[in-house]
């Protein structure tokens, strides 16, 4: 393969190229950049938390396995955890009290510098959410019910702060994973027969705060990816007219010095004009991101299909314009003199050929990221309904819950144009159509692992449950 780093991303794009569409002009690309104001160290919770993070990881591998095993929202047994796990959690109590947000503290991560930036804080924060979820289960089983609810609320506050500060795709995926653990803890509590209407209301009110959390986090993530990935890599590409050097640099995302073909190997000519227009490339990337941002601003739902009508449409047009250059960049077969001549002709005829190649290779797969984060939003939305059932004391249709003042509106399904579906038979459950938008009747056990046909949240209700709004 001539440039191995280019092939995988290229295949993802070419296989789904569709109708020819020109990207909108829009305002200058700089307006899509994500601004950053540094938080003083004494106001950044991570400054205070980092020394405590090592305590969250048990040294005993059996305890680590038990933490993972008991994290499921459906793990509902009379005695949660072994005696050694309970002892470890009890010893960790003082640290857990410190690992909460105080006053106006924020949670700002170190600035990103490009694709090589490490993410050292995300795994400890995920572990914090996991440990706290186990702590809430132990507290609940031991009869400390309000303490358990407080743990769940602290996890939701952690997720909210985390999602509000991330600045790119990898950070948003890590943050949404923490949110998933936090929501699973709330779901576990919602399934407990002893949960009181007052406790359900506290949890529900916290969830109401996060109605736009997914959309706003995705806006920051997509703008951040443009700011800290696309722009940074473009700036690192060589200042040259030599397309061979561009190909080498794009293949390493600008992290390694560009290398020319070996001596004696056919190579492209150096064009008379600049083959890479940086501003035009950044503007096209910004226009692509802007389309997603507008979709998220318009409605808090997953914009299913936008990739094919927006992003892939533009990339498909670029692929058709530089067909021979693309093949030259990624092929395994030896390069011929005839092929080199054809690529030289194409480079001379097409505006910004290297910029278009760069966009094809580096543009992110936006739609799966959106779907992943909106899966968490679907669970948040469903939990507001489940907790309304617990407050009422029985499952009910949305209109009855709204009339009773337990919901302002029917919970939205972020994967369809309607509300979430409900089934009142035993076990009653709420479900979302999932990312394909097809209603399969709400089949599922509540784990929602992998890519189930629907996302479903069953809620067995105790026979003698009675409550009031």
| Residue 150, domain member (yes or no) | no
Q: Is residue 435, in this structure, part of any structural domain at all?
A: no
DSSP state, residue 311: I
SS3 state of residue 151? helix
CA distance 154 to 158: 6
| Residue 362: inside a domain | yes
Residue 177 within a domain: no
What is the value of pTM for the model shown?
0.91
Please choose, from the candidates 422, 414, 417, the residue with its C-alpha nearest in 3D space to the C-alpha of residue 385: 422
Q: Which of 373, 367, 370, 397 lies closest to 385 in space, CA to CA?
A: 397
Is 363 within the bounds of a domain?
Answer: yes
Considering the domain boundaries, does residue 138 fall inside one? no
Query: Which residue is associated with the tokens 């009142």?
Result: 424
Short-list 325, 322, 226, CA closest to 282: 226
Residue 187 · residue 457 · CB < 8 Å = yes
Q: How far apart are the first and last CA of the chain?
A: 66
Could you list the pLDDT tens digit for every one of the 469 residues in the chain?
344 444 444 434 333 333 333 334 444 899 999 999 999 999 999 999 999 999 999 999 998 988 888 888 988 667 777 889 999 999 999 999 999 999 889 999 998 888 888 889 999 999 999 999 999 999 999 999 999 999 999 999 999 999 999 999 999 999 999 999 999 999 999 999 999 999 999 999 999 999 999 999 999 999 999 999 999 999 999 999 999 999 999 999 999 999 998 888 889 999 999 999 999 999 999 999 999 999 999 999 999 999 999 999 999 999 999 999 999 998 888 889 999 999 999 999 999 999 999 999 999 999 999 999 999 999 999 999 999 999 999 999 999 999 999 999 999 999 999 999 999 987 899 999 999 999 999 987 888 988 899 999 999 876 544 444 4
C-alpha 80/C-alpha 49 separation (Å) is 27
Give the Å distances, CA to CA, from 169 to 233, 293, 364: 15, 14, 9
Predicted local distance difference test score (pLDDT) of residue 81 = 77
Does residue 345 sit within a domain? yes
Confirm if 421 and 431 have CB atoms less than 8 A apart: yes
Does residue 256 sit within a domain?
yes
Quote the number of domains for the chain: 1
**Backbone torsion region of residue 103, taken as left when φ is above 0, otherwise alpha when ψ lies between -120 and 50, otherwise beta:** left
Sign of dihedral through CA atoms 241, 246, 249, 253? Answer: positive
Q: What is the pLDDT of residue 425?
A: 85
The pLDDT score that the predictor gives to residue 262 is: 84
Q: How many CA atoms lie within 13 A of 298 on its CB side?
A: 10
Could you tell me the residue range of the domain that residue 264 belongs to? Answer: 4-34+243-367
């Amino acid at each position: 393969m001539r440039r191995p780093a280019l092939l995988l991303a290229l295949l993802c794009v070419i296989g789904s190229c569709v109708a020819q569409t020109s990207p909108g002009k829009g305002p200058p690309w700089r307006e899509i950049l994500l601004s950053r104001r540094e938080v003083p160290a004494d106001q950044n919770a991570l400054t205070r938390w980092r020394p405590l993070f090592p305590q969250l990881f048990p040294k005993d591998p059996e305890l680590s396995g038990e933490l993972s095993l008991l994290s499921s929202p459906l793990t509902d047994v009379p005695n949660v955890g072994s005696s050694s796990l309970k002892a470890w959690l009890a010893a960790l109590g003082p640290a857990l009290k410190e690992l909460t947000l105080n006053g106006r503290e924020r949670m700002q991560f170190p600035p990103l510098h490009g694709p090589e930036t490490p993410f050292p804080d995300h795994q400890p924060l995920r572990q914090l959410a996991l440990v706290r979820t186990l702590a809430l289960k132990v507290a609940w089983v031991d009869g400390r019910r309000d303490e358990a609810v407080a743990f769940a609320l602290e996890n939701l506050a952690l997720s909210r702060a985390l999602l509000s500060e991330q600045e790119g795709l990898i950070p948003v995926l890590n943050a949404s994973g923490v949110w998933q653990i936090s929501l699973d803890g709330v779901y576990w509590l919602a399934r407990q027969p002893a949960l009181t209407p007052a406790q359900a209301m506290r949890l529900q009110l916290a969830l109401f705060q996060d109605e736009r959390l997914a959309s706003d986090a995705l806006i920051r993530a997509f703008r951040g990816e443009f700011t800290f990935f696309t722009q940074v890599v473009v700036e690192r590409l060589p200042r040259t007219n030599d397309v061979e050097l561009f190909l080498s640099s794009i293949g390493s995302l600008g992290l390694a010095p560009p290398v020319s073909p070996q001596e004696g190997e056919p190579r492209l000519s150096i064009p008379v004009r600049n083959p890479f227009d940086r501003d035009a490339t950044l503007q096209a990337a910004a226009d692509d991101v802007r389309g997603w941002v507008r979709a998220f601003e318009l409605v808090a739902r997953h914009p299913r299909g936008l990739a094919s009508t927006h992003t892939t449409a533009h990339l498909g047009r670029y692929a058709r314009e530089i067909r021979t250059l693309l093949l030259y960049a990624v092929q395994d077969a030896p390069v011929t003199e005839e092929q080199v001549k054809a690529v030289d002709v194409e480079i001379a005829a097409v505006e910004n050929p290297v910029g278009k190649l760069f966009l094809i290779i580096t543009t992110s797969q936006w739609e799966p990221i959106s779907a992943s984060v909106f899966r968490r939003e679907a669970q948040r939305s469903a939990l507001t309904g489940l907790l309304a059932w617990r407050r009422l004391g029985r499952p009910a249709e949305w209109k009855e819950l709204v009339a009773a003042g337990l919901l302002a509106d029917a919970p939205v399904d972020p994967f369809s144009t309607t509300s979430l579906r409900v089934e009142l038979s035993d076990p009653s459950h709420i479900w979302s159509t999932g990312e394909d938008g097809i209603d399969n009747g709400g089949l599922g056990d509540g784990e929602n692992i992998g890519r189930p046909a629907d996302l479903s949240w069953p809620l067995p209700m105790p026979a003698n449950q009675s409550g009031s709004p």
